[in-house]
Structure 1
Amino acid sequence: MFISTGTSVRGRWLSPVLLLVVIGTAFAEENADLDFNPTFFNDSRGRAVDVSAFRKGNPVIPGVYKVDVYLNDQWLGQEPLVAKPSRTGGGIYCFSTEQLSRWGVDWKAMAAQAPAGVGQLDTQCVDFAQWPDAARLQVEISDLRADLTIAQAYLLRRSRGEVDPSRWDSGITAGFVNYRASMNQSQGEGMTQSQSYLGLATGLNLGEWRLRHNGGYRAQSRRGVAMAGDYQTINSYAEHDITAWRSQLSLGQYYTPGELFDSVPFIGAQLSSDDRMLPDSQRGFAPQVRGVADGNATVTIRQGNNVLYEKTVPPGPFIIDDLYPTSYAGDLQVSITQANGNVRRFVVPFASVTQLIRPGTSRFSLAAGRHRNDDLSQGPAFAQGTYQRGLSNVVTAYSGSQLADGYASLLLGSAVSTPIGALGLDLTQSRTTGLAQRKADNGNGQSYRLSYSELVNYSKTHFTLAAYRFSSENYLTFNDYAQLRSQADGVAPGRPRSRFQMNIDQPLAEGWGSVYLSGASQNYWAGKRGSDMTYQAGYSNHYRWGGVSLNVSRSQALNGNYQNQYMVSVSLPLGGPRGSGYLNLSSSVRDSRTLSSQVSYSAQAGSRNELNYNVSASNDRQEGVASRSAAVLGQYRASKVNLEAGLSSSSGYRQTNLGASGSLVVHSGGVTFSQSQGDTFALLSAPGAQGAEVDNGLGVNLDRKGYAVVAGLVPYRENRVSLAPRGIANDVELEVSSNVTSPRSGSIVRLDFATRKGTPILLTLTRSDGAMMPVGAPVLDVHGAQLTQLGQGNRLFLRTEKATQTLQVVTGDKPGQRCIAEVDIPQPAGQQATGYIQLSTTCHAP
């Protein structure tokens, strides 16, 4: 029987149980017993439905529920909610004090203001009914939603994005290896040559300490003769958080910060502020490498003699913005090696702009050690210190000093926030006395730097970095001094005289696209190099039918010659939403002597777009000589590794390349492989849930041991990692599908996802005397632990690992008001189309 709810909800009908839920929720807070007229609650056969379980409100099944939590109407995420039976009957929902602290609730102040008669606070289950005037918790268990309302007096004041340091997770004892391997083989002009590269970023975490090593191995062969391989160490160091000072302690081979002085590679010790530990509202440039590849090309990025990065890119413009942090110290030398063996090189200068910091905050660094450069016989010992202080909303003052035997420098400067942008001006004075081989370079020198950064609101012009530096002839940086000091031949390096660096982005009127300009220019006082210059400018716009871009670049090669390149490209989308691709047409002219035209098609495939591929063809004409080429490049993102392969063929040349990248984490449970790379990891553990998909993992699944690795977590911030049950066996259930962690930088945190293994059963009970049993009646095991509750039609759902399960159904409040059912589960249960098996049995009186 169903009851019409009247004209206010015309055409809608509510079942008796749903009506009880609505009424029970409305009166639950009064804790008064409710009596329902049984005349209105009959089943389809006219039998009365026992609804006595709803007399004290909605029945509460004890356990832990994963619900969406809202605090004062602000979503906090999915959190565990505890359900417990209450002393007055029914049940209560509650959270722990740890959760309240994490959400910014001052539960200690609440406990101090508890009304008279309230006992000791249960830290694992706070009953908000004890504070009727300060707190209120409303739970809609059918929607898995909990709304918590807390008076403002009991909320802590926190900065936006702040995570309490007590929640920063140092992780487990474990090690990891990030790897990027590539192999290229070229054939042309009767000669075959190959080269291989393996880049490694490794680490071992021991308690609060993090040990790191970065390096790379390169080997090559020519005409079938292997040449000696070479392993280059970029750096090895140990790190430890100094939480009270919001800083990092680094020991070993490291780099000084580059905000004020040029970054110095050294071996020694450093204590430096880490802005990542600050809240978002209190936080104050890493280089990007852009270029254009004429065909499948290998991009190699070096810093000094160290190879930092190597990757094969498809034809067209590219951008590389995922360099390891160890590379943020000095100019980058970029080479683009085409399939036909042609190599283009350019330099990406890097000098970060001085940043304003908030009033009342400070930033510092202290370093001591020995200058590190493999090309020098022995670097000088030195000490360096820098300090920045926000004096007001407008002015930031900063200073620094470098001291070594025969060298000293002092920097003074200030950054000012003005209506036209942020300006920084500083002066560095150097004094050199320790150059016995080049006494002419001894003496005093000065360097002046002006920097500017601003977003011009009315025109939307974004100056991400504009800086100018001028240095006198006798000015030496500490890196210059270390190089001159170790040179016995007395040949001085080219010392910068002036440098100008700028990046501008300018959106045009709506529908007209945007333009950008970036570049750097530098000249020298002495040495073989007279000047360096590189810039790029471009225009791009998107239309309904596709996109258009124009690019112009000019760079100066190491031999002093200039290279100019002009490129126009058109991109056309093809196909539907799934498996769609892009047809790209481009044409470029270089130095008025080389004309290149390209056509390429790129697309993704797979249920999760795990396969990316690019097919291209080009026609080049250089000084009247024409050549044609074709290339194909594929990249596959597997759960445990990223793979890539390419083939290029042109007039007289042929090149093949293979590559693989990923990471592995060694922990107490074994070795877990992953496609993702990073320095801060989450190790997921869900026993028995192999095959489950990681929502944050872009195709990562739990392995056969129930482990998976997710990299790229944001340190000192809340990171949510979730599992989807897709792919797991029917007899396994994820009791928790989401976890939140706030890892320290470089940590490997373990996230445990509780699972429950057992056969899923939908059971229909029939009472031996034919009577109906109460809806919502508790269903217990032989030990009296509640497993579930009875639903409509005497049905219940449970999961069990046993071949035989004994159930007790509590049918009333009096002793003996219960029945017992014996359930035999078929073995093996097998896979069902519904995901569960349906059984029926009789419930007998004890």
Structure 2
Amino acid sequence: MFKLSAAACAIRTLLRISLPVLVVFGSTAQAREYTFDAEILKQRGVDSSVNAHFAKEAKFLPGLHSVSLNVNGKDKGTLAVRFGPEGEVCVDNDFLSAAGLLPIKDPAPQDCHNYRQDYPSAIITPMPNTESLQLVVPSEALDSNLNAMPANVQHGGTAALLNYNLFATNSRYDGGSSEYRQASLEAGVNFSDWLLRSNYMVTDNDGKISANSLYTYVAHTFVDQKMQLQAGQVNAVSGLFSGAPINGIQLTPASALIAGDSGITVSGIARGAQARVEVRQTGQLIYSTLVPAGPFSLDNVPIIRTNTDLDITVVEADGSSNHFVIPSSTLKAKRLSRPQGLSMSLGQVRDVDTDYDKPLVANISDGWRLSPNFTLSASGVLAADYQAAGAELDYLPVDNWMIGTSVLASKESFGEATNGVKSELTTSYSPVSSLSISLSGAKYSEDYRELTDALDDDYTSYDSSYGAGISWSSHILGTFSFGYSLNKASGDNSDSRYVNASWGKTFKYASVQVNWQSQVGSTDENDKDEDLVYVNVSIPFGSQSISTHYRQQGDDSSAGISTSGSVTQNTAYTISVDRDLEDQSDNFNGNINTNLHYTQLSVGAGGDTNHQRNFNATLSGGVVAHDHGVTFSPYSVKDTFAIARLSEPVSGIEMSTPQGTVWTDAWGQAVVPGMPLYRNARIEINANSLPQSMDLTNGTKMIAAGHGSVSKLGFKVMNSRRVMIDAKRTDGTPLRKGSSIVDEKGNYIVTVVDDGHVFINDIEGLSVLYATDDDGKRLCQLHWKLADKQDKEAFYEQTEGVCR
């Protein structure tokens, strides 16, 4: 927080009244010269020398100022910026890093480094009247390694949480009944960007109670290294292998901090300064930025797909524009995913049913981009009686065609010593946007094992597996998909083959979906080749919908109808009726879900014509204990969250958050249950949910949160007591229209309007009011009486007053 001196406040007031008018031509700025009234400056205690300082352009006073920074149209948060003796911006590498700009290559030991020396085309616009600073820089000045992470990322904070999901069901039927209850509980603590999480599952099945600990671990993200640490009961990440649950420690890349790389470059020329480049695909704006005058080149532009043209529009500052198209055939897309980096883990295998000792195991994986068209990944697993290693190579021969191949080898000696190899080949091709084809095949040697497979004496391996898929969409005919899979078992075991197909189409008044699945050619005599067909037709009616369906599997078939919709904004229902077409029995089910603002409740019931009945209920949500008390959430609370707090304790105020709508409790607090990591998120109060007597001073917050942080969001509200006084004289006549109402010190408050009405925007603190004439002479004192308790839902209160 920076405090302004009295002189600075006076100057800022003058600047707000009379700012120089800047006219931008290319990369230079010219300004008319203004002269401030020296007498006014003197009366306000300001030295008249500031006349020359502010005569040609708006500028900050020398020294350190807290400003809102905007770079190429993107907000970078509030930064402390130093200004030189002439109001120039003094940059250093700390400032450039926070702004997402490349550092100074050879910083000289000088008091104030001029950024325009490095980038002459850069435009720097100080705006002291709004305490902000705007920069427009060429694309080569941007630091792409920062992945545009906001400068104002929130870290730290301490809170404890409990997420709960409570489920109970009761079934009754001829001859008996059964009950089942389940509680899934996740407890945790966040402290200094570290987090602890522990999950338990408790069940009660007809009186038989069991409790299981699913996991307990601590985690932390090291931002500078872009790595995440987990320690405790974790699931090991092993790149090309399936991994295993372990009691140990693990380091993995922090994906939220790793820059993406689309490989798309857009180049052009801007005619004037501060031109805006807009990139569109299929009519949708996908990227926008500001560029200075002259040639520009934008790297790694995010795109929707690689087989659709890019529409580029350069909008100049004067409103004129230039438009051109980059054909999809010329896009050089790096379709291959970028390897995310090194991951390692070390720990003892857990939660695996085995006759052998659970070994200590180490995993390591990494990946490299060899060229724009090749990526290589490698993984290794090391345990006392098990070792495995493998590599995968992905190749992009042409646009929209990807080929991948991998070879994995294992060696285990838990029982008999065996070696095995698995080789795999995959490919996908999309010749047009509406058609995609994929093929895959894998060959296993008889003794190839993953670690968890090697610990299982009864494991049966496959000899090979194959898969194929195709999907095609048409505006006229709808969407089709077809898939085939074959698993060939080793030895005398049975093969399995599956075929599935689907078709869907949305018409003007209904949507139709048809699915078919079949197990064909099974070599197991106990298996039946049964087709499964499911047809659904859905018809919407505003916020309600009606669906009919038909299902057939072998000799069994059923049909039904269901309806669903909203009862209120936070309550929804579903009702369904099904009929078994073979035994002519009917089944009825109904369910209602409601968000109670601080928890969620779902209740349901069903039955059939065979006298079976069932009832169920679910209660879910989260509880957070923090610095200012305990707050309930209708949603489960994620690793990274925030506490929003109003300046006054008002309940039921609606807030929009990235995880859904939340509401304040009786203390004016609400949990923002989840925040995107290292990216700006918008939290906004719905002003319509405020009491009529209350106003917002700031209803929107933009905040970026670091992993494991607990952010604090403060929203200031003002509670005003507005009053309309029907003021009359002692003889019953209304006060004269146009009369002034002043307080006891003679300060003007309001003017009397028609019929003697006096509207006071906030009467709190006004105990005495007088009516005056045109010369300021008091005519009478106004007396009124208000209700003891304010009606918060009324925009203003009405009362009568007498002026005597």
Q: Is the 8 A contact 1:547 1:571 kept in 2?
A: yes
After TM superposition, give the deviation of residue 215 of structure 1 in Å. 3.1
2:576 to 593, 616, 624: 616
1:666 aligned residue (603, 606, 625): 625
1:135 corresponds, among 111, 121, 125, to 125
Matching of residue 601 in structure 1 with residue 563 in structure 2: yes
Provide the residue aligned with 1:476 in structure 2: 449
Q: Which residue of 1 aligns with 2:512?
A: 548
The aligned residue for residue 366 of structure 1 is 344
Distance 1:717 1:267 in 2: 32
Q: Residues of 1 paired with 2:77 and 2:540: CA distance?
A: 54
How far apart, CA to CA, are the structure 1 residues paired with 2:205 and 2:433? 52
Mapped to 2, the partners of 1:186 and 1:501 lie a distance apart of: 42
Give the Å deviation of 1:147: 10
Q: CA deviation at 1:494?
A: 1.3
SS at match of 1:245: coil
Task: Choose which of 626, 631, 639 in structure 1 pairs with 2:584.
Answer: 626
| 1:138 positional shift | 11
* Superposition RMSD in Å: 5.1
Shift of residue 542, structure 1, vs aligned partner: 0.9
In 2, are the aligned partners of 1:733 and 1:756 still within 8 Å (CA)? yes
Aligned ranges 1:755-774 → 2 under 5 Å: 755-760=717-722
Paired residue type of 1:236:
T
- Is the 1:803–1:825 contact (alpha carbons within 8 Å) kept by the matching residues of 2? no
Larger mean CA deviation between 659-668 and 261-270 belongs to 659-668
1:498-537 superposed matches below 5 A: 498-500=464-466, 504-508=470-474, 510-517=475-482, 521-525=486-490, 530-531=494-495, 536-537=500-501
Give deviations 1:389-414, integer Å, cap 9, x for gaps: 11221111111111111221111221
Partners of 2:585 and 2:608 within 8 A in 1? yes
Letter paired with 1:688: P
Q: Determine if contact 1:688/1:757 at 8 Å carries over to the other structure.
A: no
Cα separation, partners in 2 of 1:832 and 1:185, compared to 1, 3 Å: closer
Aligned counterpart, 1:204:
189
Cα deviation, residue 457, structure 1:
5.1
Residue in 1 aligned with 2:283?
none
The answer to whether the 8 A contact 2:725-2:800 is kept is yes
1:271 to 222, 247, 251: 251
Q: Which amino acid aligns with 1:673?
A: F
Q: CA deviation at 1:23?
A: 12
In the other structure, the counterpart of 1:449 is 424
C-alpha separation between the residues in 2 aligned to 1:750 and 1:134? 32
From 632, 637, 650, the counterpart of 2:608: 650
Match of 1:60 in 2: none
Q: Secondary structure at the match of 2:597?
A: coil
State the SS of the aligned residue for 1:480: helix
| Structure-1 separation of matches of 2:687 and 2:259 | 34
Which amino acid in the other structure matches residue 480 of structure 1? D
Q: How many residues are aligned here?
A: 644
> Contact 2:154–2:709 at 8 Å: present in 1 too?
yes
Deviation at 1:171, TM superposition (A): 4.5
User: Does 1:245 pair with 2:225?
Assistant: yes
2:604·2:616 contact (CA, 8 Å) conserved in 1? yes
Determine the structure 2 residue equivalent to 1:571.
538
Pick closer, same or farther for the CA change 1:822–1:111 going to 2, 3 Å: farther
Residue in 2 aligned with 1:495?
461
SS in 2 for 1:368: strand
Paired residue for 1:684? 644
- 2:544 aligned to which of 581, 592, 597: 581
State the SS of the aligned residue for 2:663. Answer: coil
Matches of 2:629 and 2:495, distance apart in 1:
54
Residue 593 (structure 2) aligns with: 635
SS class of match (1:260) = coil
What does residue range 72-471 of structure 1 map to in structure 2 within 5 Å?
96-97=66-67, 99-100=69-70, 103=74, 116=86, 134-135=124-125, 137=127, 150-152=135-137, 157-159=142-144, 162-164=147-149, 167-221=152-206, 226=207, 228-257=208-237, 259-279=239-259, 281=261, 356-358=336-338, 362-376=340-354, 378-419=357-398, 420-432=400-412, 434-435=413-414, 438-439=415-416, 442-453=417-428, 456=430, 458-462=432-436, 467-471=440-444
Contact 2:68 2:79 in 1 (8 A): no
TM-score of the aligned structures, taking structure 1 as reference length:
0.65
* One-letter amino acid of the counterpart of residue 510, structure 2: G
Distance 1:632 1:108 in 2: 55
Q: Which of 655, 667, 670 is the matching residue for 1:708?
A: 670
User: How far has the Cα of 1:498 moved from its partner?
Assistant: 2.7
Shift of 1:241: 0.3
The answer to whether structure 1 residue 693 and structure 2 residue 672 are counterparts is no
Kindly state the Cα deviation for residue 706 of structure 1 after the two structures are TM-superposed.
0.7
Which deviates more from structure 2 when the two are superposed, residues 749-758 or residues 190-199? 749-758
The offset of 1:563, in angstroms, is: 4.4
Counterpart contact for 1:270–1:365, Cα < 8 Å: yes
2: CA distance, partners of 1:136 / 1:682: 33
Bigger mean CA deviation after superposition, 672-681 or 830-839:
830-839
- The structure-2 alpha-carbon separation of the partners of 1:758 and 1:690, relative to structure 1 and needing over 3 Å to count, comes to same
Give the Cα–Cα distance (whole angstroms) in 2 for the partners of residues 648 and 106 of structure 1.
Answer: 54
- The answer for unaligned runs of 5 or more in structure 2 is 1-15, 23-30, 42-52, 96-114, 117-121, 265-333, 728-735
- Rate the CA distance shift 1:518–1:212 in 2: closer, same or farther, 3 A: farther
Q: CA deviation at 1:654?
A: 1.9
Give the secondary structure class of the aligned counterpart of 2:432: coil
CA 1:519–1:178 in structure 2 vs 1: closer, same or farther (change >3 Å)? farther
Q: CA-to-partner distance for each residue in 1:636-680, whole Å, 9 max, x for gaps?
A: 222122211222211322222211222222212222112222413
CA contact under 8 A between 2:168 and 2:182: conserved in structure 1? yes
Per the alignment, do residues 406 and 209 of structure 1 end up closer, same or farther by CA in structure 2, a change over 3 Å counting?
A: same
Q: What is the letter of the counterpart of residue 744 of structure 1? A: G
Deviation, 1:708, is 1.3
- 3-state DSSP of counterpart to 1:164: coil
Paired residue secondary structure (2:453):
helix
Letter in 2 for 1:405: A
Q: Secondary structure at the match of 1:201?
A: strand
Contact kept? 2:68, 2:77, Cα under 8 Å = no
Name the aligned partner's letter for residue 429 of structure 1: A
Structure 2 counterpart SS, 1:729: coil
Do the aligned residues in 2 keep the contact of 1:695 with 1:723 (CA within 8 Å)? yes
Residue 836 (str. 1) matches residue 796 (str. 2): yes
Report the AA paired with residue 550 of structure 2.
S
Distance 2:645 2:78 in 1: 32
SS in 2 for 1:276: helix
Q: Identify if the C-alpha distance between structure 1 residues 522 and 200 changes in structure 2 by more than 3 Å, giving closer, same or farther.
A: farther
- Classify 1:520/1:262 alpha carbon distance in 2 versus 1 (closer, same or farther; 3 Å): farther
Deviation, 1:733, is 2.9
Give 3-state SS (helix, strand or coil) of 1:835's partner.
coil
Deviation at 1:205, TM superposition (A): 0.7
1:474 alignment partner, SS class: coil
User: Are the equivalent residues in 1 in contact too, given 2:221–2:227 (CA < 8 A)?
Assistant: yes
